[in-house]
Amino acid sequence: MAQFDTEVSQVTMPRIGDRAPYFEAPTNHGNISLKDYKGKWLVLFSHPSDFTPVCTTEFVGFQEIYPELHQLNTELLGLSVDSVNSHIAWIRSIEENFNTSIEFPVIADLDKEVSMKYGMIMPGESQVETSRAVFVIDDQQKIRSIIYYPLTTGRNMQEILRLVKALQTTDEHGVSTPANWQEGDKAVVSPPKSQEEAAKRSEQEDIDYIDWYISKKDIT
């Protein structure tokens, strides 16, 4: 019997704002659990399969942003349904072919326990491989953002980095970040919550007032 109904999938998916589902799992760096990341931000991502071309380019890309993620108190953790030995062999091959040392661990989710908890398998696309999912989990172990890409499209590492910076900027300054925001740009001030607050917005000195519902603020 098929594990999924591919017309309407019955899989539970975590959502933004949920507590990150707990996991303990084998990786190529030994066993790892969610509690190992308490007090840190975590980018948990899945890839379809070891020894595949798009995934290989992504691993090189993830490694490129890893030092900058570290500076943001953020860890990287990969996942696929391949074995620890497969991860070891593939990472050795990436190191040889691309002169890149992959420093972050990768979960070997052979029994699909973690991928099912996180809704990483898109049965309409593949019942055996994980899709290109990205979960940004904050230092309180809450899911702050979720991105999904299909099997055939490699992710944009600079966008993942930008997303972590944007989320941390929101936490630090109590602001939102506008379209295409980059570190150093002005942020968006939360809209007024009352008629009275709206009327006073134009008098506020520390903001760039555009209209009652949109103002920007320098946060550098």
Cα–Cα distance for residue pair 82/61, rounded to 1 Å: 20
Select which of 55, 121, 122, 161 is catalytic.
55
Measured at the CA of 104, the angle between CA 44 and CA 154, to 5 degrees, comes to 60
List, in sequence order, every residue forming a beta bridge with 80; answer none if it has no partner: 108
Q: What would the two tokens of residue 159 be?
A: 């966008």
Is 53 a residue that touches ligand BEZ (CB under 6 A)? yes
Q: Is 55 a catalytic residue?
A: yes
Measured at the CA of 13, the angle between CA 10 and CA 19, to 5 degrees, comes to 145
Shortest Å, Cβ 153 to ligand BEZ: 9
Is 55 a residue that touches ligand BEZ (CB under 6 A)? yes
Of the pair 34, 160, the CB lying nearest ligand BEZ is at: 160
Of the pair 54, 72, the CB lying nearest ligand BEZ is at: 54
Of the pair 57, 176, the CB lying nearest ligand BEZ is at: 57
Of the pair 155, 201, the CB lying nearest ligand BEZ is at: 155
Cα–Cα distance for residue pair 209/69, rounded to 1 Å: 33
Place of tokens 């490699």: 154
Cα–Cα distance for residue pair 124/106, rounded to 1 Å: 25
Nearest to 82 by CA among 46, 109, 56: 109
Of the pair 51, 213, the CB lying nearest ligand BEZ is at: 51
Residues 142-181 that bind ligand BEZ (CB under 6 A): 151-152
Q: Which stretch binds ligand BEZ (CB under 6 A): 9-17, 46-54, 137-145, 198-206?
A: 46-54
Side-by-side strand order, sheet with 214-217: 187-188, 214-217, 208-211
Pick from 52, 100, 156, 204: which binds ligand BEZ (CB under 6 A)? 52
Q: Which stretch binds ligand BEZ (CB under 6 A): 52-60, 64-72, 78-86, 110-118?
A: 52-60
Cα–Cα distance for residue pair 165/63, rounded to 1 Å: 17
Q: What would the two tokens of residue 67 be?
A: 């030092």
Shortest Å, Cβ 62 to ligand BEZ: 13
Size of the site for ligand BEZ (CB under 6 A): 8
Q: Consult the annotation and say whether 132 binds a ligand.
A: yes
**Residue 77, helix vs strand vs coil:** strand
Show which residues are catalytic: 55
Which residues sit at the interface with ligand BEZ, rule CB under 6 A? Answer: 48-49, 52-55, 151-152
Residues of the binding site for substrate? 132
